[in-house]
Amino acid sequence: MSFGNFKLYINGKWVESGSGETFPSDNPAKPSQILGTFQKATKDDVNAAVEAADKAFQKWSATPAPKRGLILLKAAQLLRESKEEIARQMTMEMGKVLAETRGDVQESIDLTEYMAGEGRRLFGYTTPSEFRKKLAMTVRLPVGVCGIITPWNFPLAIPTQKITAALICGNTMVFKPSSDTPLLATRLVEILEKAGLPAGVVNLVTGSGDEVGMPIVRHDKVKTISFTGHKDTGTMILREAGLKRVGLEMGGKNGIIIMDDADLNLALEGVVWSGYGTTGQRCTAASRVIVHRKIKDKFQKMLLERVKKLRLGDGLLSDIDVGPLINKAAQEKSARYVDIGEKEGARLVAGGKVPRMEGYFFEPTLFTDCTVDMRIAQEEIFGPVVCMLEAKDFDHAIDIMNSVEYGLSSSIYTNDIGRAMEAVTRIEAGLTYVNSGTIGAEAHLPFGGVKHTGIGTREAGILGIDEFTETKTVYIDYSGRLQKAQIDTD
């Protein structure tokens, strides 16, 4: 099934690339099924997109924020009307099961509605001046042209999270999606266009990182880059961007702590959902399960039994639990890490193989007897590979949790409120869940990580607009005389 031949979107028009070349997007569950062909954009196409965004900026930023919000509300309505259709296309393009792609679309709806509401806020603040007859305050102003570079695993929700925040703040942008999921990016831009977004405000360019991504990063008229993806790419962007604002979200090696007083049935649900949902292809996926030694054997038996029952297959089918990986390289990477884990001495108790079926599938995999120094316990695999580590006590569990370079999401299962609260303060992560898995971020709360996960940026929620605004401090002196701060004391 092919949905057609798709174009770039520049200055309000759907146009072909100057390269004259295209690339396909296939179905990872059925790689022979081509879903569409997409433009290989060039540096000249990027330049045209940036110029269009730059030209549109003055008028869009002058549009009152509540009116910008009305366009976002219309976009949310259109997303809701097309939810099932888009979800099915998403399952075909990136593989995760239909229940999850419906969730991806719903998250996009929620994010869009939330940011539409920010059009009635965009709060600055007022504060007392140290002088009489003088007003001190701050206001938010848009940054300018934004470069939006997004991954494939949440092909609607992550672009929506960035784009809606940038739009409500009055910015314009050039949007480069992953080449694994250009169909969903095109659908999003079509919806924004239909919602009434003016020409030039959002421009879509598809193609490779070298030919499209880096020209966006390096362009002088692009004032900020918002990127979600691999740490190595993020590091390169930071190096190449020059004197512009950069927001980076770059993955995780997330853990779930299960204490000896935990509800093990509840913990089991959280581990399976966090470790194998989206085939482990989430930056918030739990690839480490840190279990108290007193209940390790019991929980390991419970988990192993559940993992062996997970059903692998095409995510469009109603009885499937785990879909394919995104591409051949991801499949080979998971297999490579299984080999690494076995050579390091971890015990493979489930999965670990490429099944004999069409598509980029990999068996849900579980390692036990892992130690913190093993690569499978330190490096982001981005596949359905989970390792179990034993903790002697609470302090040891926290040490294991913090032993990795990343710090995105974390979880602890315990019925001890004191342990739970201490974990919240001691775990080095941007998100901590208590008695829940490591995935499940909500649209009205900030999302982001610490350490090598990112550089402090938070997206979504009340902090989501910080990435896309400049704060201006304003002083209004109506005293009729020059008042000198830190000098005049009367």
Domain ranges of the chain: 8-250+454-473, 254-434
pLDDT band for position 182 (50/70/90)?
A: very high
Mean pLDDT along residues 194-221: 98
* Cβ pair 290, 397 in contact under 8 A: yes
Report whether pLDDT(1) > 80: no
- Is there a catalytic annotation at residue 51? no
Residue in 107, 146, 211, 283 annotated catalytic = 283
The secondary structure of 273-332, three-state, reads HHHHHHHHCCCCCEEEEEEECCCHHHHHHHHHHHHCCCCECCCCCCCCCECCCCCHHHHH
pLDDT at residue 342, as a whole number: 98
Mean pLDDT along residues 43-53: 98
Mean pLDDT along residues 420-436: 98
pLDDT at residue 489, as a whole number: 78
Report whether pLDDT(379) > 80: yes
Mean pLDDT along residues 138-149: 98
* Cβ pair 268, 395 in contact under 8 A: no
Mean pLDDT along residues 14-43: 97
Residue in 113, 249, 363, 459 annotated catalytic = 249
Which superfamily does CATH assign the domain made up of 254-434 to?
Aldehyde Dehydrogenase; Chain A, domain 2 (3.40.309.10)
Please calculate the CA angle 180-334-213 and round it to the nearest 5 degrees. 30
8-250+454-473: CATH architecture: 3-Layer(aba) Sandwich (3.40)
Report whether pLDDT(490) > 80: no
User: Which two three-digit tokens encode residue 446?
Assistant: 């900030």
Report whether pLDDT(2) > 90: no
pLDDT per residue over 292-344, tens digit each?
999 999 999 999 999 999 999 999 999 999 999 999 999 999 999 999 999 99
pLDDT at residue 89, as a whole number: 98
CA dist 117 and 345 (Å) reads 53
CA distances from 112 to 105, 157, 408, 477 (A): 11, 9, 23, 39
Please calculate the CA angle 394-400-401 and round it to the nearest 5 degrees. 90
Mean pLDDT along residues 447-455: 95
- Is there a catalytic annotation at residue 169? no
pLDDT at residue 447, as a whole number: 97
pLDDT per residue over 84-137, tens digit each?
999 999 999 999 999 999 999 999 999 999 999 999 999 999 999 999 999 999
pLDDT band for position 198 (50/70/90)?
A: very high
